[in-house]
A and B are shown apart, each in its own frame.
Chain A
Amino acid sequence: MSDLILQTIVNAVYAASYMSLIAVGLVLIFGVMGVINFAHGELYMAGAYVVVALYAESGMPFLVAVVLGLVFVGLLGLLMEISLFRPLRDNPLGGLIASIGFLLILQTTAVLGFGVRMAHIPPPTQEKIELLNGVVLTHQRLLVIIASVALLSLLYLFLHRTKYGWAMRACAQDREAAALQGISLSQVSRLAMFIGAGLAGVAGALTAPLVSPTPYMGHSVIVTAFIIIIVGGIGQLEGAIVAAILYAFVHTFVTTFFDGVIADITGLLLMLMVLVIKPTGLFGAKDRV
């Protein structure tokens, strides 16, 4: 029994790591640009298909494909910012709707390019570590955990140590005030979209061999990401990480000990509860009127 609990903890840590990448990207985009990117799950899917195309089908080294996945999806984000969110800057609902349009385009592109069936990806490594008797952590999962922690730490350093990071945080606090201080909103928005989308893409690329991508995989991802950013307090980067860990543990444990559907319901009810009791999130700031 205690082995099962330990194994579940290991699984939850893995889930928390890639969910954090996705949720932090979504929060970054919302914080800086004020739009909800409904296509975020499809950006994750796009990252996974970069690995399908470059690694599984063309034989490129896995890690190179992952890096290219980050860059490619980051560029998709840039495209969204330039073609959709910039022209719709004063229309947050419009931005949300346009991102739904983009979602449909990405999804159909994947269907046309790769078919609707699950893509099979040969595992880059079969090795695993046996932590205790019976409790295992595959190298593939370990890689996801390490890469997530490394990327999030880099992001932290970027946001707190560089001029651009500072500008980004200023925009997230108050766009008008930031603009008045001479920060270029378009520059910061482009950067936020590149990083936010890139994080979703790299999460998709890293986990692709573990999940068997389909063009429709974005749906459950966006639901999870919404739960996390609501529980964490919308626009709160640290809150998103804490909420991702919390959600990953709750979801993984309920899945293991009850059922996957019950776990999904639990997650959604958790979010509804937060929305009803403290709409600004468990870790959110006070209600701004």
Chain B
Amino acid sequence: MSRGKVNPWLWVAGIVLLATLIALPFGLSFSQREVAVLLVINVLLVSSYRLMTLTGEWSLGHVVIMGVGAYASALFSKRLGVPVPISMLLGAVTAGAVAALLSFPLFRMKGFYFLIGSFAAGEVIRLIWKYFTNPFGGPKGLKLIPGFPDIGPISFFEPLPYYYLCLIVVGMSLFFLYRIERSRIGLTFHAIHWQDKLAESVGVNTFSYRMLAFVLASTFAGLCGALYVHYIGTINPNRFDVEEMVFVLIWAIVGGTATFYGPILGVVVLTVINEVILRALGFDTARPMIYGFILIASVLFLPNGLESLVPKLQAWRTSRRTAPEGTPASEEKA
């Protein structure tokens, strides 16, 4: 697909972005660095969520699946003594495996029914964590979960090294997610979203592909959970409740889901608003309300998300330029 020459400006932008990401924590306070760690994890969480939505199904269980990765990785390392880097991978795999199992009941449903079904499945998982004190720790959850092991002098207990660790893991994962979407597999996901009957008539096994999207998205969500749990050190079932899911939805919807960068834009912009502006104003308890207003305003006034502003911005820029040299408006098909 990517046949034409890559725009050199894209390279420049990429290098600037990378430098910014590397330099970023040095301009931040300790607590802001902690937020930056969570933000990087959330970028992967919402991007993996978008992969799921490519086939047209919206899940309300994604955060619980993230929790499956977190619980699994915590238990593998704490109870079985598996080294944390390996337990993280096992956590991701467990989340993917749980998604594979859930596919059988859930993909008998579509649309609204899938939404509710995924919600119910997630609630069942959360109740299981609450009910079985052994091994899940019940409503109080798990504590004293081992952290990422030191590498030489680098201690991952500190936010700064952990930020870079997350940056590398998330960066690689995003590359993988991007490749999936740009490959034939991504094309097939889109095809199933728009016309599943036609896709079937030419031999696309829509169930397998829906399952594939769900399992892949869940594996990355599980990885997010694992990255999260070995940094924070404790988890409980309420950390993964529907309110948290609502945040993922808000990020995706405010950003827009038609492009790869839309949800990332959403999570970054909202986190910055939340941490910089709202925290400075000191409205701690009122924050969910402001989120509510943002959510409503974005569905009412920006139904295609922040991403829909990008082509407009580009058009505005090219129109200001003196000699517009046939720059393509946007590479994405919106």
Contacts and interface: CB of A to CB of B under 8 A. Distances in A.
A234 B116 CA distance: 12
Q: Would you call the interface of chain A mostly helix, strand, loop, or mixed?
A: helix
Interface stretch (A48-56, A129-137, A191-199, A266-274): A266-274
Given A104-B291, A265-B124, A279-B109, A111 B131 contact: no
A210 interface: no
A219 interface: yes
Nearest to A269: B124
A109 B288 CA distance: 10
A183 interface: no
Interface in A94-127: 94, 97-98, 100-105, 107-109, 111-112
Interface in A225-274: 226-227, 230, 234, 259, 261-262, 264-265, 268-269, 271-272
A94 B127 contact: no
B116 A276 contact: no
Q: Is the interface of B mostly helix, strand, loop or mixed?
A: helix
Given A101-B293, A223-B123, A265-B124, A275 B303 contact: no
Interface string B295-334: 1100110010000000000000000000000000000000
A275 B131 contact: no
A105 B293 contact: yes
Contacts of B286: 108, 112
A108 B123 CA distance: 23
Contacts of B242: 219
B289 interface: yes
Given A223-B123, A230-B116, A265 B296 contact: no
Contacts, number: 106
A101 B294 CA distance: 8
Nearest to A103: B292
Contacts of A94: 299, 303
Interface stretch (A13-21, A85-93, A162-170): A85-93
Nearest to A111: B285
Contacts of A101: 291-296, 299
A45 to B, nearest CB: 14
B260 interface: no
Contact of A275 (B105, B124, B285): B105
A98 B287 CA distance: 17
A276 B108 contact: yes
Nearest to B291: A104
Contacts of B288: 104, 107-108
B300 A264 contact: no
B295 A265 contact: no
Interface string B89-118: 000000000000000010011001100110
Interface string B233-264: 00000000111001001100100000000000
A147 interface: no
Interface residues of A, number: 39
B246 A104 contact: yes
B148 interface: no
B58 interface: yes
Central interface residue in A36, A100, A226, A265, by most chain B CB within 10 Å: A100
A98 B124 contact: no
B91 to A, nearest CB: 23
A108 B289 contact: yes
Given A105-B293, A108-B285, A272 B124 contact: yes
A279 B113 contact: yes
B292 A108 contact: yes
A159 interface: no
A88 B300 contact: yes
Nearest to B124: A268
Given A105-B292, A259-B131, A276-B108, 11 more contacts: A94-B299, A97-B253, A101-B299, A102-B296, A104-B288, A104-B291, A108-B289, A109-B289, A226-B119, A268-B124, A275-B120
Interface of B: 58, 105, 108-109, 112-113, 116-117, 119-121, 123-124, 127-128, 130-131, 241-243, 246, 249-250, 253, 285-289, 291-296, 299-300, 303
